[in-house]
Amino acid sequence: MKHLLILLAWMLPHQADGTLFACKNAKVSLYSKAPLEDIRATSATAASVYKATTGEVAFNVPIRSFKFQKSLMQEHFNENYMESDKFPNATFKGKVQSLPDLTKDGTYAVKATGDLTVHGVTQNRTIDGAFTVKGGAVSFNSEFTVKCVDHKIDIPKLVFQKIAESISVSVTATYIKN
Amino acid sequence: MKSTIALCLLAGAVCTVRAQTTPPAKTSSADSLLNAMSTTADNEPVIATFKASRLIFSQTTETVKKGNLNFVVIHRFGDIGGSAGGGKTLWGLDNSSDIFIGFEYGISDKLDLQFGRSKFEQLLELGLKYHFLQQTADDAMPFSATIIGKTGLKPYSVTTNVFKPYTNRLNYFTQLVIARKFSTNFSMQITPSYLRNNLPFPYLPDNEKNFFVLGGAFRLKVTKRSGIVVDYHHPFSSFRSSNNTTTNFYDPIGVGWEIETGGHVFTLNLSNSQAISEINYLADTESSWGKGQFRLGFTISRMFELSGRSKNKY
């Protein structure tokens, strides 16, 4: 797998002219605030790609990679809510609207419009985020909410007090320039 | 894996060629790179083969995870039909043939320690359960396997007074649980077991101290959080075979409905065995479905998280 990545990374510059940014250890955190319980989970193995020439941006996070405080929650998250055996990944594929100049240091607030797919249900979303360039290193972060009902994630009445209807998601990616 | 690499290389080569001819390739190279980067490992372990550590009679391959405590209450009422059942006992609800209270504590994610006490024969039991094979999504390992070892002690002489050497009160039980989750909705297990009673139980002439048992059980989910469970055991014991003229023994058979509600798992069931612990029901099931000697039972298991993993990490 590593060799393949290196190979791809080696091949891609020829076609992308050094404008492709990639990250394979992006961090995605979930936070659900409900009357009875606050639930947090984090994945540090999301993948992201940003193409500076066109503004295309893509994220992919394996559902199974989310780690919870409680092992039972993690099991329920996969088994009952996200059905990770049927829908193993959550993705976002979109385009950044006004392209920031990533050659200069600074923070650039952007809006990305595209398809957010969670639990097999795709929603067209516009998500706020920001690129940060510091000493040539490019990173991206964003915070947004996902409504369970929009993605057909059922929460039974019995646990309504424990799980929020909308989940806050925060994403951080530090890119490597290809 | 090799073919995937070859395919990706080919795709990459095609892209490069196309990139040379039509410079701004429209279908994004971003996409293909993302796909290449996010190939999920296909040797992921299969989770939640069963929702609880117990079905009706049998334990499942699931162990209690590290630092968790599972509190189990199991109850069996009296005979619904037959001479001991009927309206005068409210179809068995007046009687309790067995009550079990148990604790299972996760020493690691794969190993738990369990303790329980039954009303039936006042049995105390201490056991270890180790989950040593894990089914994987790619079927490199097609099933999960767990081994259970238990020692039972009957501290009081209830049905017999030959408890004189104290070791007569000890019983040993070993079981291998082999399970496979065939789909999200269907999991099945087979359980070869070995039971040793230092004093034959029930204490009757010609009864065996040791015998093998083969069991099978499955869970079929009907809704997302509930389903049917069926549990069956057959002891390979000539004393317990149908040609025993003095005492009749029957194979334990149970059917139930399992409901999962977050931290709790409930099972409502009907079974012919009076006892709850393997040490008791495998040795002594003298009630028959055919004679109306089956009973209502339930299992409640509640999982407590004792050692919260460091919260700051998440």
Quick check: A42 and B314 CB within 8 A?
Answer: yes
Write out the two tokens for A114.
Answer: 């595209």
Contact residues on chain A for B37, CB-CB shorter than 8 A: 5, 22, 24, 47, 49, 60
pLDDT, tens only, A38-54 = 899 999 999 999 998 88
Residue-level pLDDT at A167 = 93
Secondary structure class of A150 (helix, strand, coil): helix
CA dihedral A79, A82, A85, A88 (to 10 degrees): -150
Residue-level pLDDT at A18 = 58
pLDDT, tens only, A1-21 = 556 555 555 555 444 455 889
Residue-level pLDDT at B20 = 40
In DSSP terms, which residues pair with B193 in a beta bridge? B175, B213
The DSSP letter of residue B205 is T
Residue-level pLDDT at B308 = 59
The verdict on A44 touching B (C-beta cutoff 8 Å) is no
Q: How many residues does chain A have?
A: 178
Domain ranges of chain A: 29-177
Residue-level pLDDT at B8 = 47
The verdict on A6 touching B (C-beta cutoff 8 Å) is no
Residue of A nearest to B185 (CA): A79
Query: Do the beta carbons of residue A152 and residue A21 sit within 8 Å?
Result: no
In DSSP terms, which residues pair with B93 in a beta bridge? none
Out of A20, A48, A67, the one facing B314 most closely (by C-beta) is: A67
Work out how many CB contacts closer than 8 A connect A with B.
124
Q: At what angle do helices A2-16 and B2-21 cross, to 10 degrees?
A: 0
Contact residues on chain B for A3, CB-CB shorter than 8 A: 5
Quick check: A156 and B261 CB within 8 A?
Answer: yes
**What does the alpha-carbon distance between residue B45 and residue B49 come to, in Å, rounded to a whole number?**
10
Residue-level pLDDT at A57 = 92
Residue-level pLDDT at B39 = 60
Block residue for tokens 């409900």? A34
Low-confidence ranges of chain B (pLDDT < 70): 1-30, 38-41, 158-161, 242, 308-314
CA atoms within 13 A on the CB side of B165: 5
pLDDT, tens only, A94-118 = 999 888 988 889 999 999 999 999 9
Mean pLDDT of chain A: 87
Pairing relationship of beta strands A137-147 and A166-174 according to DSSP bridges: antiparallel
**What does the alpha-carbon distance between residue B38 and residue B32 come to, in Å, rounded to a whole number?**
10
**DSSP state string for A112-164:** EEEEEEETTEEEEEEEEEEEEEETTEEEEEEEEEEEGGGGT----GGGTTTS-
**For chain B, the helix, strand and coil percentages under 3-state DSSP, each to the nearest 5:** 15, 40, 45
The DSSP letter of residue B119 is S
Domain A29-177, CATH:
2.40.128.110
CA distance B43 to chain A (A): 12
**What does the alpha-carbon distance between residue A120 and residue A91 come to, in Å, rounded to a whole number?**
10
Overall average pLDDT of the A31-37 stretch: 86
Write out the two tokens for B260.
Answer: 């999962």
Quick check: B38 and A89 CB within 8 A?
Answer: yes
Write out the two tokens for A171.
Answer: 């994403």
* Ramachandran quadrant class, B124 (left: phi over 0; alpha: psi -120 to 50; beta: rest): beta
Residue-level pLDDT at B203 = 84
Query: Do the beta carbons of residue A169 and residue A145 sit within 8 Å?
Result: yes
